[in-house]
Structure 1
Amino acid sequence: MTAKVSRRLVVPDSVRVHRYQNLPELAPSVLFFSGGSALNKIARVLKAYTHHSIHLVTPFDSGGSSAKLRQAFNIPAVGDLRSRMMALADETVLGQPDVFELFSYRLPFDATVAELELEQELAALSVGEHPLMQPILAPMKTLITTQLIRLCSELPKDFDLRGASVGNLIIAGGYLGHGQLLDPIIFLFSRLVKTLGQVTTIVDETHHLGARLESNEVVLGQHQITGKETVPLAQPIKEIWLNQGLDERLPVSATLPEDRKQLIEQADLICFPPGSFFTSLVANLLVDGVSHAILNNPNPKIYLPNLGVDPEQLGWSLMDRVEYLLTLLLGDAERNATEPVLNWLLIDEHYDYGEIDLERLTKWGVGVVKTPLIGIKPHQYSEHLVVQALLSFT
């Protein structure tokens, strides 16, 4: 038998928060659709309150150190995956501090460092003789070196190692050694750093992102859209899709795997979190099957919007973004009133988010919760206040 139970919502709910902080291993599951590093600070705090957070990240990044690995091996982007796992890693004495340090290390980016020196450092890592490898004991050391040896055996001779993340290299080696599948190496990586939560990609695909601007110009590649590695877009984004490759507009579809579907359907709370609106949040929602999985979850669904300036949001007000999310997932924003994919808009009580049309939100079935979310630094969420507010809904 299934029964619907309601209660009075208090945000923040100090009793619930205190209970979860005392017993994080028994706390509820909070699922985030995200990518990028914007949520990492919140994730680092969240693990003190619950060990059951779920992070579905996008594998579509085409910038940073992930881009080099994608070009060399045609693999999904692994940088965001690694950084989120590191944010959730157990950093106490019960964790694996030596492994944490290794996976967080980057090879020197200094232009004065010769290519041969970088190759020698990677070789020392792959045979376990690097200073960072020496404190790590077998069989863990063997597991790590196996992935690096596989990577080195297939690394192109002209591969640029400057600034390479060792964690990314280990994951890439594992991907190549496990039939070009991410899930087995994600499982291994999570065990090695003892993540206090679950991190996985929304799909195991090598797709990229494509966008059409208001001027009808087509932009291919996440690195061209975010406004962080290139000049920010001069026109608002009007359409975004998954694309095959970076050479021409070739829209492609991807289907949500069954295990991800179950994670979405069974989470105690779903959060559409801060971060790059299109390339981190919306990118996850472009996968076929995501909207149905969200619909099948009866638990609270919350949108926590960005603060400050997100170059991708040029021309997009908060109301525009809420309507876009509802339309993307349901086809019609008003359908949300009876088949909700979003229940609450969670905002700081004093921050100016622009116009918030309560009448339209009510028509769409979206409630507004205002509570303190910003700490000492202006235009920046307090990680503790955000975590405590989110967990108050569970």
Structure 2
Amino acid sequence: MDKHNPSFIIFSGGTACNHIANAFQSITASVCYVLAISDNGGSTSELLRILGGPAIGDLRSRLTRLITTDSTDVVERLAIKELMSYRLPSDGSESSIREEWYLIVDGRHKLWNQISVEKKETIRGFLVAFNSEILKRAHKQFNFRNGSIGNFFLTGARLFFGSLEAAIFLFSAITGIREPTYVLPCINTNHSAAIAAILENGQILRGQCEISHPGLNSDKHCKSVNPIDAFSKLAMPNSPVQTEDESFDRIRNDNLVFSKTADDKLDSAIRRIYYMNEYGQEIYPLPNPKVISHLNQRDFLVYSIGSLYTSLLPNLILRRVGAAISHSPSLRFKVLILNGTPDRETDGYTALEFISTITNALNESQLIDARHKYYDQHSDQHDTLLTSHYYPNDAYPRPVDHGFRQWPPPPPAPLCTQHFHTDNSSSTSLVQHLLKHNGSSSIPGSGASSPGYRTPPFPPELVPNLPPSSYITHLVYLTNSKIPVDVPAIENLGIKCIPVQGELSTSEPRYTADTLQHLIERLLTSSD
């Protein structure tokens, strides 16, 4: 590792990591940000309803944050940053909101005043392309309320090029964000990538909004779609679906406006997160190949602050990610920056439970890899089973009922009941945990629990059970953190704990970019 020119890869969400991004950018420009594309709230929800595709809100948020103003064209860059960050009003009449949008797309809005003609027409061209796609779907009545101009631009560019990464490249080129700074979607796709959560009580929440921040008008106990209706209605609660006998004024998007600070607790703790298709079935996407490449080349891995289950884990549960992190030839530091306060997803959590959740997610990533490899090696028998009329819809089962809470904190933490020991023979391993809950032949991926379906039993020795220290080497936490940190227990796992002083101007625990920068620089120069 070059201590004078380190490189970072950062798994993060959108807004939470934005205010500490300078901690990394001030050290080096060689920073790769990996962001999930599964958010279905706010302006993005309306784009998904009308146009489909990946969620680009967090990508746009990070890209605009990285626009620098230390160049000769500072006035123009600030103007472009303001344009890409601008949102149409969230209240007022629909006609007045549309009128402001038309001023922007026509090039007559004051936001264009400080932008050169060539860049103005380039940006406006993709806004026009976006508007054209909306007009083609006028019967769906796109709602411009709270709409993000940056989101509209990225969507227009993605549709024009047929590539999300091409749209990101165009945004970076126009705004002056140059390599070696990268902003990568965790999955490189033109399709939607939705997530779901299963709670400890068995309840399933579909979509990031329902998990993290339900819409202000949404029904907390919205029913799932009957499978018989799956081809006429998306299997997503609160999806604004219009039938032939409904008038246009009854279309409602409950995810368009939401509050991240609303005190609406989950009915039960989250057991696990998984990806699903539009009919609610679990899927196992491949990650963006560039993410794996960066994990094998970078020096410093950061699990950033943000929503644990909806911002961080969608990056980690992807196939090959767990193996890339645990076996990276280059990663020297794997640092978890602990949130300062709990949120709806992590109410009552301790630092040990953050570590437990990340460990289990990355072990699950490797479990999916192991299942895929095993059944690929048994392809002849598996192909025969695939053609059998006994093959049920969920015969390639999703491990939604297996817990995956192998690295819990000691009592009296309420969510976990087992202890981690360095000697696996004296602890309940993940394999034993799975066998206990599912029977001797019902390892996730075996399909043995499905009636009428026979498959080669998945060997228990292939189930990954790596310890937390394989994925996390350091825990950074605030001295006034509202999330309990049991330092001796964490360091007993082989993870070094580093306290930092938070922002002094507020009583709320909050990181500052300067403090984190100094901490990272000390780590880079240390001999540990």
After TM superposition, the score normalised by the length of structure 1 is 0.85
- 2:17 is matched with 39
- 1:202 is matched with 186
- 1:19 is matched with none
1:27 to partner: Cα distance: 4.3
Q: Hey, which bits of structure 1, 4+ residues long, moved more than 4 A?
A: 331-339
1:147 to partner: Cα distance: 0.7
**1:261 matched to 2:292:** yes
1:16-165 residue pairs with structure 2 within 5 A?
27-44=5-22, 46-94=24-72, 95=74, 96-112=77-93, 114-115=94-95, 117-155=96-134, 156-157=137-138, 158-165=141-148
1:355 to partner: Cα distance: 4.7
**1:167 matched to 2:198:** no
Could you list the per-position Cα deviations for residues 107-132 of structure 1 after superposition, in whole angstroms to 9, with x for gaps in the alignment? 222323x42x4334333323333222
Larger relative contact order (Cα-Cα within 8 Å, sequence gap ≥ 6): 1
- 1:348 is matched with 478
- 2:199 is matched with 213
User: CA contact under 8 A between 1:53 and 1:198: conserved in structure 2?
Assistant: yes
1:382 to partner: Cα distance: 2.1
RMSD: 2.5
- 2:171 is matched with 189
Identity %: 24
Give the 3-state SS of the residue equivalent to 1:241 in structure 2.
strand
Greater CA drift, 310-319 or 210-219: 310-319
Could you list the per-position Cα deviations for residues 16-41 of structure 1 after superposition, in whole angstroms to 9, with x for gaps in the alignment? 8xxxxxxxxx7422221111311111
Aligned counterparts of 1:135 and 1:350: Cα–Cα separation in 2: 43
1:93 to partner: Cα distance: 4.3
1:299-310 residue pairs with structure 2 within 5 A?
299-310=332-343
Aligned counterparts of 1:339 and 1:384: Cα–Cα separation in 2: 27
- 1:233 is matched with 266
Give the 3-state SS of the residue equivalent to 2:115 in structure 1.
coil
1:88 to partner: Cα distance: 1.2
Aligned counterparts of 2:325 and 2:299: Cα–Cα separation in 1: 12
Which consecutive residues of structure 2, in runs of 5 or more, have no partner in the other structure? 217-263, 365-405, 408-421, 423-464
Residue from 210, 219, 223 that aligns with 1:224: 210
- 1:366 is matched with 495
- 1:21 is matched with none
1:163 to partner: Cα distance: 1.6
Give the 3-state SS of the residue equivalent to 1:42 in structure 2.
coil
User: CA contact under 8 A between 1:348 and 1:374: conserved in structure 2?
Assistant: no
Residue from 289, 311, 325 that aligns with 2:320: 289
Count how many residue pairs are aligned between Structure 1 and Structure 2. 366
Q: Give the greater-gyration-radius structure (CA).
A: 2
Give the 3-state SS of the residue equivalent to 2:302 in structure 1.
strand
User: CA contact under 8 A between 1:373 and 1:386: conserved in structure 2?
Assistant: no
Which consecutive residues of structure 1, in runs of 5 or more, have no partner in the other structure? 6-15, 17-25
1:224 to partner: Cα distance: 0.7
Aligned counterparts of 1:186 and 1:150: Cα–Cα separation in 2: 16
1:238 to partner: Cα distance: 0.7
